[in-house]
Structure 1
Amino acid sequence: MKQRVNIGVVCFARKTFDYQAAAELYQKIQQDLQQIEQVNFEILPELLIEVEETRQAAQILAAKHLHGLICISGTFHLGHLVLELNKVLRVPILLWGLNELPYNGGKIRLNSVCGVNLDASNLYKSGTRSFHVTIGETVDEDWIDALRIAAALAQAHIAIAGFRAKGFFNLGVYDLSVYQQMGVLIDHYELQEIFSTEVAAEAVQRHTQQLREIFDVSSISVAQLDLTGQLAAKFEQFMETHQLTALALRCWPEFAAMYGIAPCAAMSLVQSENRLIVCEGDLEGALSMIAHQAVGAETPFLADLSQVNFEENFALLWHCGVAPCNLWDGQCVRSLDSYHAAGKGVTADFVMRSGDISLLRIDSAGQEYRLFLQRGKGIPMEKDLRGTYLKVRFEEPVKTVMEKILYNGLAHHASMVYGDYIKPFEIFARLQGWQVIK
């Protein structure tokens, strides 16, 4: 389900143009907006024409805790209006221009697009760059989705247990920069707090039974299966207790050494139930997955670009056995294995389903933030490897994609989801003032 947001809606006009036609168009727009899921629209139903009434409107909307503001250019209008609203509200703005109506006696009736031009220029030259423009009969829902991303991040409760994985310096973040850019405060817990979390026997039994039903468990011991079911229950209880949106784990080497198994398979199971747990302490990976979920993407997979084949033009998106188990291709045998960590696994092994995919990485270099975005298509393959993986062809040659990752110093994880989720992130990046790498 998409992130819910609160959006204000106003319509500007001037009586020297056909403001009555604009009012009729605005009535229809109000009805259409109400059909959009997971949005609370705070609509001011009458046209805004004069400066003083716009100041009053700003005060009304200021009490509504808005995530964004739609300013419809019903007709050309005074340049004061958007500035008066922005002065008070300071939220991202959608400048919405309407298509011109048929001419009436040789006179332009709305001149709406010129009004949008005026507003965009005034905002830009006053130092406000967090606006987006659309022209047409319907609202730009990609802009709404961009607001959902910002809202989900600002409301998120994220924690790291342990630290980043050993040697993965590139996954480190500056906590206050994350707070400044996205409003996220990061909590820290020790791994022992997860290990010692008390869980009900019924929860352990339920997860253990799920593992038996979903996976071929013949390659692991009964003790390993029991530990995996127990750990899944601990993850679930720990996140509920602390009300966490996402949890980043230092998943090695301590889990195998101190708990007795690696957490991969337990993470695969719990993630399939819409809990976000990421490996190797990758907080920005967790932020990326939260952002994907905000726009309606389901069960993100934090993947390594582990193999490239320039001749056949594909990449292998792989990780050691942690993908949500509901992303299975429906063909191969899903199995659990203990092939790594000196036989202390336990990992999920399966090929992921084919189809259109999108990649996202929220990534920092110092205090500079950027977004990596990529479209691709997952293609069928045999189960030749352990772990969880998908063969992908991108829109661009894989060599080009790889060079963009390497020469921009992007971290080696990206959130992968099924479907096309690119445009909202391009808008979000512009609102944030971030670079887009795609």
Structure 2
Amino acid sequence: MENIPVIKLGLVAVSRDCFPIALSEKRRAAIAEKCGQKKLDFVEIKTTVENEKDMLKAVEELNAAGCNAACVFLGNFGPETPETLIARYFDGPVMFVAAAEGDGDMINGRGDAYCGMLNCSYNLGMRHLKGYIPEYPVGTAGELADKIAEFIPIARVIVGLKNLKIITFGPRPQDFFACNAPIKGLYELGIEIEENSELDLLVSYKEHAGDKRIPAVCEDMAKEMGEGKYYSDMLERMAQFELTLLDWAEAHKGARKYVAFADKCWPAFPSQFGFEPCYVNSRLASRGIPVSCEVDIYGCLSEYIGACLTGDAVTLLDINNSVPEYIYDKDIKGKFDYELHDTFMGFHCGNTPSCKMCDSRAIKYQLIQHRLLEPEGSEPDFTRGTLEGDIAAGPITFYRLQCDSEGEVRAYLAEGEVLPVATQSFGGIGIFAIKEMGRFYRHVLVQKRYPHHGAVAFAHCGKLLFEVFKYLGVKDIAWNQPKNLPYPTENPWA
């Protein structure tokens, strides 16, 4: 995967000066051994922090080692001021964990880090410093190594967003108020945005005509799709567009390291560029460069979060249509543990990466756009370029981070799966199943006025995604609640 950070984590032990420093150092070494067994990319920082000068020295070591994330380990009670100041002086996400007792000596070998974690959190709050504290932050060396392993993808998201620029080509299509995107929320999250006209993109695309790199990209596209699954006369145009986006990203990222796109893709795009951009968008998404449809800025941001968290391709889909009862009765009922209202179809014209689709996927034409833009009864021409087929079965997390019309950032997430059931429809599409989706649809998606686009990560990553949203300061995080936990707006007599 390109365009996402690689995390190198520094392990820093702290010690209160009235406790034996050797206790923290011995316990740090034990964690380092467990992290090494897990083959984590980490550095054991040798300075043990007892005071502010030690803190500065430890931060110097972190920087010198090229660390972009840190774990502060309370091997004993810990020094409240120096340990929390690491989060101020170190320019990266910082996790705080504490040692559980169990070294066999409860006189000189008791560290009281269980107590110290309370004051650590209290001091972080007083200084308005952000630190990541896991669900249960106290543990043995092996347990803490597991928590560090879970923190690394979380840190990948935080570092990625801190260095992200979202590039848009708009404006948004008429009547797509669902893609309304107050950019205030982006700045609050530390993300930059560059908004451009669709004409800017067209000018740049035309300037790439005859680019010497086009044949190699065409060859790669043909290899990816396989014979009979693409339009040979379309490849040059699509390759030209792919190079246009990649060159724009490189030329416009500025002070940022990472880029994601939110592009207008209809109605003017196909007639002016000569193709639908969906397949090219899917190729970039498979490399960690999301290109969201319909200038959906927060959809693009959500995709990028998922790419960083999973290190894998993601997609953006419409929460599109209900599953017909005849499909449910024939292919789902009695075979899978879902009710009809637990299911829905997720669809987009063709932006899902080919690696997440069934083998029958192919580059086709956009049926809706063909009806709208090309002469009735004609063969599809410039409405070709979508990547269509059923999405492959497997676990998913459906989620979105959104800035609402009041400027508040909120989020939802729900784990589920794509079922191995034929959709009998068109586009890039799959039958999704999420427990209690019907209630979630009404009391979260509808009630809280979320747009119709949702991001899809192809893994169960709800636990870590929830932690990411918490770290980002999102106060309203919704999920698919079980029946015994009603939503505030749910009618108890319904």
TM-score tier (shorter): 0.7 to 0.9
Q: How many residues get paired?
A: 430
The equivalent position to 1:437 in structure 2, one of 475, 478, 481, is 478
Contact 1:232 1:269 in 2 (8 A): no
Deviation at 1:210, TM superposition (A): 4.3
* Structure 1 pair 322–114 and aligned structure 2 pair: CA distance change class (3 A): same
User: Residues 151-188 of structure 1: CA distance to partner in whole angstroms, max 9, x if unpaired?
Assistant: 11222343112322222223233445413313323252
Contact 1:250 1:281 in 2 (8 A): yes
Instruction: Name the residue aligned to 1:180.
Output: 188
* Root mean square deviation of aligned Cα: 3.0
- SS of alignment partner, residue 131 of structure 1: coil
The equivalent position to 2:362 in structure 1, one of 334, 350, 353, is 334
The equivalent position to 2:401 in structure 1, one of 362, 385, 394, is 362
Contact 2:318 2:347 in 1 (8 A): yes
Contact 1:239 1:247 in 2 (8 A): no
Instruction: Name the residue aligned to 2:388.
Output: 349
Farther off after superposition, 47-56 or 401-410? 47-56
Instruction: Name the residue aligned to 1:164.
Output: 172
Cα distance in 2, alignment partners of residues 233 and 188 from structure 1? 19
Contact 2:166 2:191 in 1 (8 A): no
TM-score (norm: length of structure 1): 0.86
* Structure 1 pair 114–235 and aligned structure 2 pair: CA distance change class (3 A): same
Deviation at 1:280, TM superposition (A): 0.7
Deviation at 1:228, TM superposition (A): 5.0
* Structure 1 pair 28–251 and aligned structure 2 pair: CA distance change class (3 A): same
- SS of alignment partner, residue 369 of structure 2: coil
* Structure 1 pair 50–395 and aligned structure 2 pair: CA distance change class (3 A): same
Instruction: Name the residue aligned to 2:489.
Output: none
Deviation at 1:382, TM superposition (A): 1.8
Instruction: Name the residue aligned to 1:193.
Output: 203
Instruction: Name the residue aligned to 1:296.
Output: 310
User: Residues 28-73 of structure 1: CA distance to partner in whole angstroms, max 9, x if unpaired?
Assistant: 22344456678454x4314323454335445655777764432111
Contact 2:349 2:366 in 1 (8 A): no
- SS of alignment partner, residue 286 of structure 1: helix
* Structure 1 pair 20–275 and aligned structure 2 pair: CA distance change class (3 A): closer
- SS of alignment partner, residue 173 of structure 1: coil
TM-score (norm: length of structure 2): 0.77
User: Residues 176-235 of structure 1: CA distance to partner in whole angstroms, max 9, x if unpaired?
Assistant: 541331332325252313541323352464266348726545xxxx6xx52354123322
- SS of alignment partner, residue 416 of structure 2: strand
Q: Which amino acid aligns with 1:109?
A: R
Cα distance in 2, alignment partners of residues 57 and 106 from structure 1? 29
Structure 1: tracts of 5 or more residues without a match: none
Which runs of structure 2 are paired with 1:296-335 in the superposition (5 Å)? Answer: 296-309=310-323, 311-330=340-359, 332=360, 334=362
- SS of alignment partner, residue 182 of structure 1: coil
Identity of aligned residues (%): 17
Contact 1:315 1:398 in 2 (8 A): no
* Structure 1 pair 36–214 and aligned structure 2 pair: CA distance change class (3 A): farther
Farther off after superposition, 150-159 or 127-136? 127-136
The equivalent position to 2:414 in structure 1, one of 374, 379, 382, is 374
* Structure 1 pair 232–416 and aligned structure 2 pair: CA distance change class (3 A): farther
Contact 2:215 2:236 in 1 (8 A): no
Which runs of structure 2 are paired with 1:211-360 in the superposition (5 Å)? Answer: 213=226, 216=229, 225-243=232-250, 245-272=259-286, 275-309=289-323, 311-330=340-359, 332=360, 334=362, 336-342=364-370, 343=380, 344-346=382-384, 347-360=386-399
Cα distance in 2, alignment partners of residues 350 and 21 from structure 1? 59
Deviation at 1:3, TM superposition (A): 2.5
Contact 1:232 1:270 in 2 (8 A): no
Instruction: Name the residue aligned to 1:142.
Output: 150
Q: Which amino acid aligns with 1:381?
A: V
Instruction: Name the residue aligned to 1:206.
Output: 219
Instruction: Name the residue aligned to 1:399.
Output: 439
- SS of alignment partner, residue 295 of structure 1: helix
Cα distance in 2, alignment partners of residues 86 and 414 from structure 1? 33
* Structure 1 pair 92–275 and aligned structure 2 pair: CA distance change class (3 A): closer
Contact 1:19 1:110 in 2 (8 A): no
Deviation at 1:304, TM superposition (A): 0.7
* Structure 1 pair 27–202 and aligned structure 2 pair: CA distance change class (3 A): same
- SS of alignment partner, residue 306 of structure 1: strand
Contact 2:396 2:456 in 1 (8 A): yes
- SS of alignment partner, residue 316 of structure 1: strand
* Structure 1 pair 20–231 and aligned structure 2 pair: CA distance change class (3 A): same
Q: Which amino acid aligns with 2:154?
A: A
Contact 1:404 1:437 in 2 (8 A): yes
* Structure 1 pair 209–4 and aligned structure 2 pair: CA distance change class (3 A): closer
Q: Which amino acid aligns with 1:135?
A: V
Farther off after superposition, 136-145 or 403-412? 136-145
* Structure 1 pair 338–143 and aligned structure 2 pair: CA distance change class (3 A): closer
- SS of alignment partner, residue 242 of structure 1: helix
Contact 1:207 1:232 in 2 (8 A): no
Q: Which amino acid aligns with 1:239?
A: L
- SS of alignment partner, residue 209 of structure 1: helix
- SS of alignment partner, residue 132 of structure 1: coil
Deviation at 1:272, TM superposition (A): 4.4
Contact 2:342 2:436 in 1 (8 A): no
Q: Which amino acid aligns with 2:364?
A: L
- SS of alignment partner, residue 11 of structure 1: strand
- SS of alignment partner, residue 276 of structure 2: coil
Cα distance in 1, alignment partners of residues 224 and 107 from structure 2? 73
- SS of alignment partner, residue 368 of structure 2: coil
Cα distance in 1, alignment partners of residues 400 and 22 from structure 2? 47
Cα distance in 1, alignment partners of residues 217 and 65 from structure 2? 44
